[in-house]
Chains A and B, each alone.
Chain A
């Protein structure tokens, strides 16, 4: 493929990233709107109802004023599925995503949150060393590219937890850890949100999977029936804790519990929790090998 076509494709990825970042921040997906409406119907506590009513009002104002739903523009996280025949190398895809993130931040303008982790000095327009963060997936026999942008707020990211349960702790140990984590987090991660759980793999991979779990459309279920059953059970249990909207007490503590899993070592039983706030922002694009972009909210 000619050099200029490669350059054009990188610019297409950059355009998509710039659009997705702002779009995700302003217009939350329909599945999330539906889940929040259902929560508003279900909640019975006075402060809880007040919170869910305010969230509803806020989403409508973000729509009408074309403003951001939440001021925390987050850390830019992308989930990218690359077809093995897509003509742009991942190194160039990464550049496109980084440049698009920076461009959106400058042009809008968006608050820039990126800092050096020791000096705490700002490192640029929501980019920096190893920022943005990209989760890669490679797909056989395909020439397309899917890009999902998930701006991740810090209030919920700070409520991330890992435990290396032992095999003797069993699934019960996993359930207990998720429950105690969400109760301990209280109102800090802006409940009711999506509890992402990663189980199996290694310590780092469990947390990686927990992040992937929060990126899924709300209420989708893991294809493994054992895991899907655990999702249903934890979802029910978490809503019995009474933490409620914004931790002020109530019936709705979480909108969903999503779990991703990996097979693991016979002596390992890791469990990671990554919380996504009620403003579970997410926007996607499908990019063809010829550079056509198809934006999609349901992915």
Chain B
């Protein structure tokens, strides 16, 4: 299990292909915050996102923020939400918009494995609930689009040493979540026999 540092957005697909399920990753550069309603607007209502998502790192978040007098936003507490609710957007995010990484908590179900493999994408697991730490790693909120969806807007954050993240699903067809579930289900049979 290797350690990597990756700067987003990426231009070289190799940056994603070198990552393997279980590896630890620290992220630099820019990441984009997105959530349920943001993706419903893009894909179900067919509204083009007003930000470039090519090579992007998306974070499943609805940040706690404070609006400043000049209209900008200041961070209060930024953390990560459960990813599984948004798994159906994985394939179109990669195919239509060139997204390369999705980060959230709790993992993606197995239906994300094949599109991530085909399109060269990864799922990064963050520690859910660890928002105090995450907030210190977000240097600035640089852009906000679709403010009317507050807090489920499209957010652009500049980050420094964002992590540690664990590669939960890699671009080679591996998923830690599938492995853990397979082992746990076998274990359950053993436990039931003991009850």
The 8 A CB mask of A165-190 against B (1 = contact, 0 = none) is: 00000001001100110010011111
Contact B185 A246 (CB under 8 A): no
Report the separation of the CA atoms of residues A175 and B142 in the bound assembly, to the nearest whole angstrom. Answer: 50
Which of B79, B125, B191 sits near A246, CB closer than 8 Å?
B125
Which of B129, B180, B191, B195 sits near A249, CB closer than 8 Å?
B180
Cβ contacts under 8 Å, B164 to chain A: 50, 54
Is A255 interfacial (CB-CB < 8 Å)? no
Report the separation of the CA atoms of residues A54 and B131 in the bound assembly, to the nearest whole angstrom. Answer: 10
Contact B195 A176 (CB under 8 A): yes
Contact A47 B184 (CB under 8 A): no
Nearest chain A CB to B125's CB is how many angstroms away? Answer: 6
Q: Give the residue name and chain of the B residue nearest to A249 (CB).
A: B180
Report the separation of the CA atoms of residues A61 and B133 in the bound assembly, to the nearest whole angstrom. Answer: 6
Number of residues from B at the complex interface, CB < 8 A: 47
Nearest chain A CB to B31's CB is how many angstroms away? Answer: 15
Is A137 interfacial (CB-CB < 8 Å)? no
Contact B180 A54 (CB under 8 A): no
Report the separation of the CA atoms of residues A30 and B145 in the bound assembly, to the nearest whole angstrom. Answer: 41
Report the separation of the CA atoms of residues A57 and B163 in the bound assembly, to the nearest whole angstrom. Answer: 12
Contact B184 A243 (CB under 8 A): yes
Given contacts A50-B164, A247-B180, A248-B168, contact A67 B188 (CB under 8 A): no
Q: Which of A259-295 contact B (CB under 8 A)?
A: 277-279
Report the separation of the CA atoms of residues A5 and B82 in the bound assembly, to the nearest whole angstrom. Answer: 46
Report the separation of the CA atoms of residues A93 and B168 in the bound assembly, to the nearest whole angstrom. Answer: 46
Q: Give the residue name and chain of the B residue nearest to A52 (CB).
A: B127
Is B173 interfacial (CB-CB < 8 Å)? no
Report the separation of the CA atoms of residues A189 and B151 in the bound assembly, to the nearest whole angstrom. Answer: 21
Report the separation of the CA atoms of residues A52 and B185 in the bound assembly, to the nearest whole angstrom. Answer: 24
Report the separation of the CA atoms of residues A186 and B127 in the bound assembly, to the nearest whole angstrom. Answer: 14
Cβ contacts under 8 Å, B84 to chain A: 188
Contact A187 B107 (CB under 8 A): yes
Cβ contacts under 8 Å, A175 to chain B: 195
Which of B22, B132, B176 sits near A69, CB closer than 8 Å?
B132
Q: Give the residue name and chain of the B residue nearest to A46 (CB).
A: B1
Given contacts A73-B64, A248-B168, contact A61 B181 (CB under 8 A): no
Contact A111 B62 (CB under 8 A): yes
Given contacts A55-B130, A241-B188, contact A155 B106 (CB under 8 A): yes
Q: Give the residue name and chain of the A residue nearest to B37 (CB).
A: A120
Is B81 interfacial (CB-CB < 8 Å)? yes
Cβ contacts under 8 Å, A220 to chain B: none
Q: Which of A32-88 contact B (CB under 8 A)?
A: 46-47, 50-51, 54-55, 57-59, 61-62, 65, 67-73
Is A244 interfacial (CB-CB < 8 Å)? yes
Q: Give the residue name and chain of the A residue nearest to B62 (CB).
A: A111
Nearest chain B CB to A285's CB is how many angstroms away? Answer: 23
Which of B61, B136, B177, B187 sits near A242, CB closer than 8 Å?
B187
Is B76 interfacial (CB-CB < 8 Å)? yes
Contact B77 A68 (CB under 8 A): yes
Given contacts A67-B132, A176-B195, A243-B180, contact A188 B106 (CB under 8 A): yes
Which of A62, A158, A187 sits near B105, CB closer than 8 Å?
A187
Nearest chain A CB to B38's CB is how many angstroms away? Answer: 14
Report the separation of the CA atoms of residues A26 and B35 in the bound assembly, to the nearest whole angstrom. Answer: 24
Report the separation of the CA atoms of residues A252 and B195 in the bound assembly, to the nearest whole angstrom. Answer: 21
Contact A54 B66 (CB under 8 A): no
Q: Give the residue name and chain of the A residue nearest to B179 (CB).
A: A249
Is A110 interfacial (CB-CB < 8 Å)? yes
Is B63 interfacial (CB-CB < 8 Å)? yes
Report the separation of the CA atoms of residues A260 and B26 in the bound assembly, to the nearest whole angstrom. Answer: 42
Cβ contacts under 8 Å, A153 to chain B: 129
Given contacts A158-B82, A242-B183, A248-B166, contact A186 B188 (CB under 8 A): no
Given contacts A70-B79, A72-B79, A111-B62, contact A244 B180 (CB under 8 A): yes
Report the separation of the CA atoms of residues A54 and B66 in the bound assembly, to the nearest whole angstrom. Answer: 26
Report the separation of the CA atoms of residues A180 and B181 in the bound assembly, to the nearest whole angstrom. Answer: 11
Seen from chain A, the residues whose Cβ lies within 8 Å of a Cβ on chain B are 46-47, 50-51, 54-55, 57-59, 61-62, 65, 67-73, 108-111, 153-155, 158, 172, 175-176, 179-180, 183, 186-190, 237, 240-244, 246-249, 277-279
Q: A187-B106, A188-B82, A188-B106 are in contact. List 10 more A-B contacts (CB 8 A).
A: A51-B127, A58-B127, A67-B131, A154-B82, A155-B129, A176-B192, A179-B188, A179-B191, A188-B107, A244-B180
6 A-B pairs (CB sep. < 8 Å): A57-B133, A71-B135, A111-B63, A154-B81, A155-B81, A175-B195
